[in-house]
Amino acid sequence: MFALPPAFEEKMKKILKEEYPAFREGYELPRKFGLRINRDKITPEEFEKLAPFELTPIPWVDNGFYYGENDRPSRHPFYYSGLYYLQEPSAMTPANILPVNPGDKVLDLCAAPGGKATELGAKLHGKGLLAANDISGPRARALLKNVEVFGIPNSLILNEVPAKLAENFPEFFDKILVDAPCSGEGMFRKDPDTAKAWKPEKPLECARMQKEIILRAADMLHPGGMLLYSTCTFSPEENEQMISFLMKERPEFEILPIPERYEGFASGRPELIEKEWLPSELWEKDIFDDLTEEQKISLKNCVRIWPHRMGGEGHFLALLGKKDENGKLPEMYFYTGEEGAFRNETIPAVKAEDPLKNVQKEIRKEKKGKKNRKGQPSSGELPAGKKSGDLMPFITFAEDLKVDWDFSRVEVRKGQVYYVPAESAAVRGLVFLRNGLYLGEIRKDRFEPSQALAAALKKSQYRNTIDLPADDPRILHYLKGETIEIEPEEAENSKGWQLLCVSGYPLGWGKLVNGLLKNKFLASWRLS
């Protein structure tokens, strides 16, 4: 039988009561394996036709699938081309539920390794800003890699504490996701070592940390915005009690109902904030006495995912709205007059546009160097301090790109070329790993494109492409960093930079010389 800590079992018996036996039996069932489609590169329907392994849709995640335990999707070329992310099915839920639209300024505050950040970024379709932060340096580097593999061009990758971010970004973001560091009780089946390391004090330790995190997140949310708080634990201290703490400290926040709530979702538990559940080491016994009955009832709008009820591990999430200066909640929700009832108003879909297209027009603008009426650089002109000659190797390379560059957003730092997001962010004084899309490097008089640029492009956006099927053995040789042979009819041009694609999706760069494609796939991304 799966070993659980005795103190944890006693706590769960108290929470679940007659449902506990079914919960306990669930630990004897095998865990589920999931992958989530990159909706900015491919639709779920398109991927099902391409998939080399059997998939079963996850019923509450529109772009999520189960795959078999014996499959190895992390070694398939489609994984390296950023078509999907491997993620535990329940963990897909928070980013799937948070309503993000192209043009939003979005923050994932505790983002590493990037499972939720990549979904938020894909929803933006290159418009707006994705700020993804993690306090750990090594984890932030893993986050950067996953965001770049997904081809998200409008990203800001940070390595900061929440308090420092709150100083720079007061009421800045439209949407914020807080997947808080937690005691991990919901992941015991997936990771038995977590169960072995659990101790009764762990939820209290995490809750003390979460109090600071959720308040700083609240301070960074623009009035009229939405915050999604989630954990992968069952502890009331980290869940309903933490949401109640936020409503007490920031009364402008209200819990919103989850749109299109899946039938398997369990409701939040208002009774878990009653005095008998409040640990004295964390709360004063009267801390929630001044919450209104409506606020307490609204805790039912939170979601608990129980592993014995659904095909995934344990999770908790709450969607909150921050009232604007007129006291109104976000527009997509309004009160219907019934107790605890809201109606969901669909936000009109914003047509996704490629963030990169049609370069020739902008190059002509850059060469003309015209000013707008206010004397500021026009959209195609280099910003002040950047000489045309500094960027000429990149401009020459860009002639083969069908991309609509705004050259005022191109920055050169020590020979490295970046395309910064259109939504400016106050990054001065902050530790960040990336601000925008890393385009490549200027070495002497030549430009070498980056792996991140390849991931952000579509096949149609580069003039010279080589497209091989996923089962071509040369693809695996390429992913291992080897030179591969290319037949004359497989390349549109016989020499120079080539964008190698797998079944129509960009994989990386190579340089074609005498029928050999010299490998330019980033060494740290290679298949081992």
Residue 57 to residue 63: CA distance in whole angstroms: 8
Residues 161 and 244 in one domain: yes
**Per-residue pLDDT at 334:** 36
Q: Shortest CA distance to 33 belongs to which of 91, 120, 113?
A: 91
Q: What is the mean pLDDT of residues 382-387?
A: 44
Residues 472 and 448 in one domain: no
Q: Which residue has the higher pLDDT, 343 or 77?
A: 77
Is position 503 within any domain?
yes
Residues 449 and 480 in one domain: no
The confidence band for 331, taking pLDDT boundaries of 50, 70 and 90, is: confident
**Per-residue pLDDT at 386:** 52
Q: In the predicted model, is pLDDT for residue 355 greater than 60?
A: no
Is position 326 within any domain?
yes
**Per-residue pLDDT at 364:** 40
**Per-residue pLDDT at 188:** 98
Total number of domains constituting the chain: 3
Residues 326 and 381 in one domain: no
Is position 239 within any domain?
yes
**Per-residue pLDDT at 381:** 42
**Per-residue pLDDT at 405:** 85
Residues 454 and 472 in one domain: no
Is position 42 within any domain?
no
**Per-residue pLDDT at 359:** 36
Q: In the predicted model, is pLDDT for residue 250 greater than 80?
A: yes
Is position 75 within any domain?
no
**Per-residue pLDDT at 511:** 97
Is position 486 within any domain?
yes
CATH of the domain at 476: 2.30.130.60
Residues 285 and 251 in one domain: yes
Domain final residue, candidates 439, 458, 477: 458
Residues 274 and 330 in one domain: yes
Residue 196 to residue 238: CA distance in whole angstroms: 20
Residue 420 to residue 48: CA distance in whole angstroms: 34
User: Which amino acid, 36?
Assistant: R
484-485 vs 516-519, strand pairing mode? antiparallel
Q: What is the mean pLDDT of residues 119-148?
A: 98
Residues 499 and 375 in one domain: no
**Per-residue pLDDT at 332:** 60
Q: What is the mean pLDDT of residues 386-409?
A: 83
Q: What is the mean pLDDT of residues 12-29?
A: 97
Q: What is the DSSP letter of 271?
A: G
By the 10 Å C-beta count (0-12 exposed, 13-18 middle, 19+ buried), 441 is classed as middle
**Per-residue pLDDT at 131:** 98
**Per-residue pLDDT at 426:** 82
Catalytic residue among 110, 182, 232, 302: 232
The confidence band for 374, taking pLDDT boundaries of 50, 70 and 90, is: very low
The confidence band for 492, taking pLDDT boundaries of 50, 70 and 90, is: confident
Is position 491 within any domain?
yes
**Per-residue pLDDT at 422:** 87
Residues 409 and 318 in one domain: no
The per-residue pLDDT for range 31-48, each reduced to its tens digit, is 999 999 999 999 999 999
Which domain covers residue 403, as residue numbers? 354-458
Q: Under a CB-based contact definition with an 8 Å cutoff, are residues 62 and 37 in contact? A: no
232 catalytic? Reply is yes
**Per-residue pLDDT at 425:** 74
Domain final residue, candidates 401, 435, 458: 458
**Per-residue pLDDT at 390:** 80
**Per-residue pLDDT at 237:** 98
CATH of the domain at 417: 3.40.50.150
Q: In the predicted model, is pLDDT for residue 344 greater than 60?
A: no
Residues 157 and 296 in one domain: yes
Is position 52 within any domain?
no
Residue 57 to residue 69: CA distance in whole angstroms: 15
Domain final residue, candidates 406, 424, 458: 458
Residues 447 and 491 in one domain: no
Q: Is the dihedral of CA 510, 452, 113, 164 positive or negative?
A: positive
The per-residue pLDDT for range 299-316, each reduced to its tens digit, is 999 999 999 999 999 999
Residues 386 and 441 in one domain: yes
Q: Which residue has the higher pLDDT, 361 or 3?
A: 3
